[in-house]
Amino acid sequence: MRVYCAIMRGGTSKGVFFHEKDLPADPTLRDQVVLRIFGSPDKRQIDGLGGADLLTSKAVIIRPSSRPDADVDYLFGQVSVTEPEVDWSGLCGNLSAAVGPFAVDEGLIAAPEPVTSVRIYCPAFDRRIIAEVPVRDG
């Protein structure tokens, strides 16, 4: 199975970003795919994109939002290094900063110059974030 992903930096964190449509809809299968991509469970994560540490084993799933007050939904997953688990109940503030640029780069929203406002919804906390993304050349 091939899965498109992008490695993005937000603040002091890096994460592997996925489009929800590219992953299995079933949560158990989705988590198995994410774990495999990260090389978990394996304390060294040698066979994947994980960095052998919780700080470098972060997944993000983005989807177009069905909410009228948001452009995209942002799901953050903390990928366990040693256990076959992904915790989708949290939030990474640093990676939140990369959601807007990902949405613009991936064409999920129109990107007018010079700054595009991206309305991000976080289902885990029922909160919205507004990201201002500098845009040049569309």
CATH code for the domain of 40: 3.10.310.10
- Domain range spanning residue 46? 6-134
- The mean pLDDT of 49-55, rounded to a whole number, is 88
Can you give the pTM of this predicted structure? 0.94
- List, in sequence order, every residue forming a beta bridge with 74; answer none if it has no partner: 62
Evaluate whether residue 71 is within a structural domain: yes
Instruction: Specify the amino acid at residue 29.
Output: L
Domain count across the chain = 1
Contact 87, 77 (CB under 8 A): yes
pLDDT digits (tens, 9 = 90+) for 55-99: 889 999 999 999 999 999 999 999 999 999 999 999 999 999 999
- List, in sequence order, every residue forming a beta bridge with 59; answer none if it has no partner: 16, 77
Evaluate whether residue 1 is within a structural domain: no
